[in-house]
Structure 1
Amino acid sequence: MTTFPKSVVIVGGSIAGLLHGVFLKRHGSDVTILEQDHSAIRSSHNAGICYGPSVQEFLRLYDDTNIQSCQAGVITKLAYRQNIWSRDTDIARHLTSWGVLYRILRANFDGLSSEAVSAPPAPRAGDGKANYWSGKKVTSLLKTDYGLLVGFVGDDGREESCTADLVIGADGLHSTVRSLVQAPVVKEYSGYVSWRGSVCEVDVSVETASYFQDRTVLGLLKRTYIVCYIIPPDSASLVPGTRLINWTARHIHTNTVPSGLVCDEVWKEHLAEMLPLVPPHFTELFLKTKNPFVTKVNDALCSQAVFLDGQVLLVGDALATFRPHFALATEHAARHCLGLGRVWRGEMALGLWEKESLNYATKIWLGSRVMGAGLLRGWAEFLLIAWKYVVLFARSKLGT
């Protein structure tokens, strides 16, 4: 019977890495997370995320903080151009912020105290050891007679190493682990970016705050769309008035600009282009955003997830990075985590986990491209990618 690995190094200390870290710790593995970012606690930039049943199941089984992690979205409302009310749908999402989920997972993994979790839970009986090392850039990966030797460099430039039975690459779109094992991957820039920002509820009018209450609002424009929803701040507060109205607007563009570095003139030009096209509640939201930022929308897809005889695995965005239209990145990572649990309990072969993970990733990768093309790129690209998706779906049904 397959068992859980005794020692694990996880490269990448974001959501995917922490999901796997908490999961393995709870099953007795000694886990070390190597995170390249030098900060002891990562900055969230008030980024919003949503999650589905796999994350819900994970938190039910392994979260001991008793912190409410999300703002449940009752409906998704579609607004077309300047029309305030258009159409309601039955689509409901669990909405939260990256910062809140990160802090909950850190509290469970290594006992980090934060504004969200001031009293982290004690370890469970049978938990393995957990280390979260910041400022560690992985540089090498070598298979030896004693396990896998992971080399890394600290902020001080000193070269270090550690050994493990298993290495998990959870280090995102630009994965170092993926490069070290020479994983076959397709990476592409979509040709568009996400303008992003957030505004506290108390900083907008009562009418605007009410408009975004208990719903996700999807504003459809010509080759642009905007998504708005309420999320908790890093303190995890869900008290009305303390929450944030998070917005994302997709737009044809060429580069990434971090929070606080967007030139005022560029932001004003963008506003001049957008404001005449959107409903008044969106207008107020944009005008009261203090630190907007821009992120490039890239994607990546590997055709292999298991390396070095099963001792190296790629998960989350390191295996497949989706364009964000379906908002499935966190759910994707949780699926990998729970699926690997079936492998280590002897319920599934590792090869079958890899096959299922790749099939799911390919469908979402193509599906997100179809949606992005339909909303932003025009009919020609939409029809081409939609045809590829249909062919893929047919082949998966036929088992080819």
Structure 2
Amino acid sequence: MAHVPKSVIIVGGSLAGLFHGLYLKRHGSDVVILEQDPRAIRSSHQAGIAFGPAVEEILAKYDDTAMQSCTPSVATRFAYRKRPNFKDLNIIRHLTSWGLLYRILRANFDGLASDAVPNPPPPRKGDGKAEYRSGKKVTKLEYENGLVTVGFVGEDGTEETLKADLVIGADGVHSTVRTLLQAPTTKEYSGYVAWRGTILEKDLPPETAAYFANRTCINLLKKTYIVCYAIPPDTGTFHPSTRLLNWVWYSTPSSPPSILTLNSILTSTQSTTTTTPHKTTVPTGLVRPAIWQAQKLSTTTGLPLAAPPFAQLLAATPTRSVFVTKVTDALCDRAVFWEGKVVLVGDALATFRPHFAVATEQAARAPLDALMGHSWMTVTQASHRASSSQSVTQGGWSTAGVLTEVPP
């Protein structure tokens, strides 16, 4: 590294924040992560993620838990409409759960003990201090004399401030840091939603579970598609009796009078009227059963068109295990502010549509370079924007039918 900051504040304690925090701690920086979520361990919604060489390298260099972090898929299997074995490609992915990777990073960063890592590793010689503070909402940023002051409020309303040589905004698509900086940002609804869910592998018929085993499986439907792969639970066990099948179904909402309009999809069991939908996500357990049933039975995009293993998978997933997210693009014009003292990373800088599983990989890529060099910041911003634009383009092709309308 060209320069190691003595003190760092990271706003946002998800994976992007933890990748940067662990990297800086290992290089001797004193790091404080401020996370708005009040829970000591963040909820994962049992979400699955895929990663590549950047995450592998971060874990190889800085992870001391000796935990198995992922399971490789030996191939990518494509189903086309009702044809379950349309094509297999030799595309290998490393698959895991958000919750397990989060727990491994927390164990290394601030020594969090969890069901996955009950005995966190001790700090290394030369590590900086590390602190993860939950329930802290950032309200103010100021820059003076080479230091950034961060103001934040706790759950009890107590206001505090901290000063640091460097502040990293890793607080996601709705970034408070980005808002406080008044950074020019383009936001746009993609035109579709992502339905997500999990089911225990053992709860499916053996032949259905075997179809999805050790593969990333994709069912191409009519201007929509479903992705499924096996992941460990947050406890980090990889045995088939405890593994989950994690699936994502990308779908375009309908127009009235269909029940599957965007407003209707985002209206949960807790909403009082159809005029009060959630802004982006209906969490697990709050999806209305009638909406999920209508989605599954849609004659234009639903399970009547799906390959049998996928139809069985989604039919067996209970409504309580399903959540749905409006996919939104956000792209900031700048990554670096205040003479390099504030940096935006991850989804705070540019969102990645989830189709091709690049968000986690991109979040881990930046810390592998010299974090403090302005040249790195310029390259990172350009690379981040290019990768984000690519994910937007590929996602648009998929839901418009360019990638799903293959020859029969």
Say whether the fold is shared (TM-score over 0.5): yes
Pairing partner for 1:267 from 285, 288, 292: 292
Q: Distance in 2 between matches of 1:176 and 1:68?
A: 34
Q: Distance in 1 between matches of 2:371 and 2:197?
A: 40
Q: Distance in 1 between matches of 2:201 and 2:169?
A: 38
Q: Distance in 1 between matches of 2:115 and 2:401?
A: 44
Cα gap change, 1:113/1:214 in structure 2, threshold over 3 Å: closer, same or farther?
same
| C-alpha deviation, 1:285, in angstroms | 1.3
The residue that corresponds to 2:397 in the other structure is 374
Q: Distance in 2 between matches of 1:119 and 1:209?
A: 33
1:43 aligns with 2:68: no
Q: Secondary structure at the match of 2:246?
A: strand
The residue that corresponds to 1:364 in the other structure is 387
Q: Distance in 1 between matches of 2:364 and 2:215?
A: 24
CA contact (8 A) 2:71 2:95 kept: yes
Q: Distance in 1 between matches of 2:112 and 2:74?
A: 32
CA contact (8 A) 2:224 2:401 kept: no
Q: Which amino acid aligns with 1:319?
A: L
Q: Distance in 2 between matches of 1:19 and 1:131?
A: 14
| C-alpha deviation, 1:343, in angstroms | 4.3
Deviations 1:300-336 (A, max 9, x none): 1122111000110011111111111221011111111
Q: Secondary structure at the match of 1:321?
A: coil
Q: Secondary structure at the match of 1:370?
A: helix
The residue that corresponds to 1:397 in the other structure is none
Deviations 1:251-300 (A, max 9, x none): 11334311100011111111112221112211221122122110111121
Q: Distance in 2 between matches of 1:61 and 1:188?
A: 37
Q: CA RMSD in A?
A: 1.5
Q: Distance in 1 between matches of 2:91 and 2:103?
A: 27
The aligned runs of 1:166-245 (5 Å cut-off) are 166-245=166-245
Q: Which amino acid aligns with 1:372?
A: G
Q: Which amino acid aligns with 1:282?
A: F
Q: Which amino acid aligns with 1:312?
A: V
TM-score normalised by L of structure 2: 0.89
Q: Secondary structure at the match of 2:238?
A: coil
| C-alpha deviation, 1:144, in angstroms | 2.5
Q: Which runs of 5+ in 2 are unaligned?
A: 254-261, 267-280
Q: Which amino acid aligns with 1:150?
A: V
Q: Which amino acid aligns with 1:353?
A: W
Pairing partner for 1:316 from 346, 350, 373: 346
Q: Distance in 2 between matches of 1:71 and 1:355?
A: 34
The aligned runs of 1:1-400 (5 Å cut-off) are 2-145=2-145, 147-253=147-253, 254=262, 255=266, 256-273=281-298, 274-290=302-318, 291-339=321-369, 342-344=370-372, 349-350=373-374, 352-378=375-401
TM-score normalised by L of structure 1: 0.91
| C-alpha deviation, 1:193, in angstroms | 0.5
CA contact (8 A) 2:141 2:149 kept: yes
Q: Secondary structure at the match of 1:161?
A: strand
Deviations 1:227-247 (A, max 9, x none): 000000001111122100000
Q: Distance in 2 between matches of 1:363 and 1:24?
A: 25
Q: Distance in 2 between matches of 1:343 and 1:198?
A: 37
Q: Distance in 1 between matches of 2:146 and 2:226?
A: 52
Q: Which amino acid aligns with 1:305?
A: A
Q: Which amino acid aligns with 1:203?
A: D
Q: Which amino acid aligns with 2:356?
A: F
Q: Which amino acid aligns with 1:98?
A: W
Q: Secondary structure at the match of 1:124?
A: coil
The residue that corresponds to 2:270 in the other structure is none
CA contact (8 A) 2:226 2:247 kept: yes
| C-alpha deviation, 1:158, in angstroms | 1.4
Q: Secondary structure at the match of 1:365?
A: helix
CA contact (8 A) 1:316 1:336 kept: no
Q: Distance in 2 between matches of 1:343 and 1:163?
A: 19
Q: Distance in 2 between matches of 1:296 and 1:217?
A: 23
Bigger drift between 247-256 and 163-172 goes to 247-256
Q: Which amino acid aligns with 2:384?
A: A
CA contact (8 A) 1:78 1:85 kept: yes
CA contact (8 A) 2:371 2:377 kept: no
| C-alpha deviation, 1:378, in angstroms | 4.9
